[in-house]
Amino acid sequence: MSNYHIKHLEEYYQVYRKSVREPEHFWEEIAEEHFLWRKKWDNVLSWDFTKPEVKWFEGAKLNITENCIDRHLATRGDKTAIIFEPNNPKEAAVHISYKALYHRVNKFANVLKSQGVKKGDRVCIYLPMIPELAVSVLACARIGAIHSVVFAGFSASALATRINDSDCKLVITSDGSYRGAKTIDLKGIVDDALNECENVSTVLVAKRINSNVKMKAGRDQWLQPLLDEASNQLKAEVMDAEDPLFILYTSGSTGTPKGMVHTTAGYMVYAAYTFKNVFQYREKDVYWCTADIGWITGHSYIIYGPLCNGATTIMFEGVPSYPDFGRFWEIIEKHKVNQFYTAPTAIRALAKEGVEHLEKHDLSSIKVLGTVGEPINEEAWHWYDDNVGKRKSPIVDTWWQTETGGIMITPIAYATPTKPTYATLPFIGIQPALMDEHGKEIKGNQVDGRLCIKYPWPSMARTIWGNHQRYKDTYFSAYKNKYFTGDGALRDEVGYYRITGRVDDVIIVSGHNLGTAPIEDAINEHPAVAESAIVGFPHDIKGNALYGYVTLKETGESRDQNNLRKEINQLITDQIGPIAKLDKIQFTNGLPKTRSGKIMRRILRKIASNESNNLGDISTLLNPECVQEIIDNVL
């Protein structure tokens, strides 16, 4: 009996127990029965969290694109693999069949090859949500190049940092992008970035908005003519199980982003298996995840997971508010979406608009709703359940991370009874642990602590590109022999998990992880700024918004504070992107510090969140006097 498709709670418990009792045997069975291998593995798993080193399916040979595309050709060649829904609803949607995807990926892969890209080379992809994005990702995987997709909302400077960190020689972009009523000059951003990237020799440019861009001779080439010339046949490169598949950057507690490295076989197996079960995908279903492929959710649950299962997956170019707040509902009706996966911040933004838009559309195709990216508050959960799911479609609140590659704690739709704000139970094979501040595991239920994972799972990131020590320090040093997630969680009386949020210096704003350090670095570049500290505070739609406390080199009186605020936000926009802009900036004469000079963000967070009556003991601070001044002037 195959354990590939779990349908009931008892089955979940049964399979879960097996996956924990005999993990290797369990994953071997899944891998064996449901994927296409050029050669099977010699060893299912070897691991050592102290190094840390983890290898799954060592010795196996495969190409993930043969699993995502080739193996479906015989049975699903004409089935739609990708539906592209453009920004402008008047522009026709594009249906790309598995056969057409096969040809497009081969062509693109041949273009990359003709540009000298080889197995192991890094390729940076900076594209909007257009078909070329999915196709270029798969084309890299087909020839064994390592893709590094950078979200097309990042600034030139952030893009340059990422290109240089992984030494990409080729960049794929477009002449521009549509975003609601606006267009964005992506090619211009790439040009700016490349002033700082000596090693990039080639830029391939897709046409999307037909803008008049400058093409640098010898470096920039239009993509389409190259594709037209290329053959639509190509033999996939044979990859080792542990060959890197992609790098994806995530922000951390220190300035530079972390290039999380995901490898091939384990990632594939886990992304596919979770997709099938969490969303209960069936053959004729149309699945829609609203994330951008620039984030891990798009990698695992727009491209790899769905395509490995022969699914139909939607790529949406636009935003929920354009041309109006009915857009999501219109798309669901139009494509008869069965599984809809989005983020709490989008749900809150849509809920604020009331149900008037919803009521105009037939959402009866929906079977499963999903959420990801941050804790979902109770109100948003019920609004989603009542109005979108009509209380008949389970909500899968999926907790996971860029680092985990796939969904880790989640209900399985129609099997796990849901509970508002709870991600519920660990997925098959996942062994969570809650830890106390002394590094001891907290057993039993009705407890809370820091969330760790104590056994490897197939899709975990293997390292940070170029910095294995940082990988070890960040994830494997806080608790011995455990992967530390950076999140806090509680476990209720039946063993359900609720993720309470980050316990480190990462703040999640509208579902985007933002490290405080890179933002503070950007602010501190302002010539008038002496020092700064960023904290999050609750925001109705974004979940958290950013509050900055800034001390100036001279007293603020002499400068126009509003201008300064604008300049500071401009610096952040330039260095990181508009997503990291501060909602509030308070100028202050001092920042509360410990005697060793560390800024006490805990106090600043409380003040920003209107909880200054509950600061605890501040007498041990180096400079307690500054606290009252900050409270008096809070924004």
d(CA 249, CA 557): 40
Location of structure tokens 């990422």: 162
Q: Please list the residues that pair with 314 across neighbouring strands.
A: 83, 288
Location of structure tokens 């892969």: 109
Tokens standing for residue 253:
């507690």
Q: Which residues contact 566 (CB under 8 A, 6 or more apart)?
A: none
Tokens standing for residue 328:
């999501």
Binding span for ligand WTA by CB under 6 A among 127-135, 326-334, 394-402, 597-605: 394-402
Number of other CB atoms surrounding residue 436 within 10 Å: 12
Contact code string over 466-495 relative to ligand WTA, x by CB under 6 A: -------------------xxx--------
Using the rule CB under 6 A, which residue among 399, 471, 483, 496 binds ligand WTA?
Answer: 399
3-state secondary structure of 107: helix
d(CA 511, CA 435): 25
Closest to ligand WTA by CB, 295 or 587: 295
Q: How far is the CB of 61 from ligand WTA (least distance, A)?
A: 29
Binding span for ligand WTA by CB under 6 A among 193-201, 280-288, 295-303, 515-523: 295-303
Assess 505 for contact with ligand WTA (CB under 6 A).
no
Closest to ligand WTA by CB, 326 or 577: 577
Closest to ligand WTA by CB, 173 or 297: 297
**Residue 367 CA: distances (Å) to CA of 2, 23, 373, 396:** 24, 31, 21, 11
Closest CA to 202 of 250, 157, 145: 145
Q: How far is the CB of 75 from ligand WTA (least distance, A)?
A: 31
Closest to ligand WTA by CB, 271 or 564: 271
Amino acid identity for residue 80 in this structure: T
CB 144 within 8 A of CB 243: yes
Q: How far is the CB of 483 from ligand WTA (least distance, A)?
A: 12
Closest to ligand WTA by CB, 251 or 338: 251
d(CA 371, CA 312): 19
Closest to ligand WTA by CB, 156 or 423: 423
Closest to ligand WTA by CB, 178 or 400: 400
Tokens standing for residue 240:
């080792």
Closest CA to 219 of 234, 199, 236: 199
Q: How far is the CB of 498 from ligand WTA (least distance, A)?
A: 8
Assess 131 for contact with ligand WTA (CB under 6 A).
no
Binding span for ligand WTA by CB under 6 A among 330-338, 351-359, 372-380, 612-620: 372-380
Using the rule CB under 6 A, which residue among 63, 136, 250, 280 binds ligand WTA?
Answer: 250
Q: Where are the alpha helices (DSSP H) in 458-547?
A: 468-475, 516-524
Closest to ligand WTA by CB, 86 or 373: 373
Using the rule CB under 6 A, which residue among 101, 234, 372, 626 binds ligand WTA?
Answer: 372
Closest to ligand WTA by CB, 102 or 422: 422
Residues in the interface with ligand WTA (CB under 6 A) total 22
Assess 513 for contact with ligand WTA (CB under 6 A).
yes
Assess 542 for contact with ligand WTA (CB under 6 A).
no
Closest to ligand WTA by CB, 266 or 486: 486
Assess 252 for contact with ligand WTA (CB under 6 A).
no
Assess 374 for contact with ligand WTA (CB under 6 A).
yes
Assess 373 for contact with ligand WTA (CB under 6 A).
yes
What one-character-per-residue DSSP string does 197-235 give? -TT--EEEEE-SS-------TTTEEEHHHHHHHS-S--P
Closest to ligand WTA by CB, 374 or 520: 374
Assess 502 for contact with ligand WTA (CB under 6 A).
yes
Location of structure tokens 């594709």: 227
**Residue 341 CA: distances (Å) to CA of 248, 311, 373, 629:** 21, 15, 11, 45
Q: Which residue is nearest to ligand WTA (CB)?
A: 402
Assess 343 for contact with ligand WTA (CB under 6 A).
no
Tokens standing for residue 324:
């109006």
Q: Which residues contact 439 (CB under 8 A, 6 or more apart)?
A: 478, 479, 480
Q: Which of residues 409-428 bind ligand WTA (CB under 6 A)?
A: 423
Assess 508 for contact with ligand WTA (CB under 6 A).
yes
Assess 387 for contact with ligand WTA (CB under 6 A).
no
Closest CA to 193 of 158, 153, 147: 158
Q: Which residues contact 609 (CB under 8 A, 6 or more apart)?
A: 537, 538
Using the rule CB under 6 A, which residue among 109, 239, 272, 296 binds ligand WTA?
Answer: 296
Q: Please list the residues that pair with 427 across neighbouring strands.
A: none
Assess 151 for contact with ligand WTA (CB under 6 A).
no
**Residue 460 CA: distances (Å) to CA of 165, 204, 617:** 21, 31, 40
Using the rule CB under 6 A, which residue among 97, 106, 297, 532 binds ligand WTA?
Answer: 297
The pair phi, psi for residue 60, each rounded to 5°, is: -75, 150
Assess 516 for contact with ligand WTA (CB under 6 A).
no
Binding site for ligand WTA (CB under 6 A): 250, 295-297, 372-375, 397-402, 423, 485-487, 499, 502, 508, 513
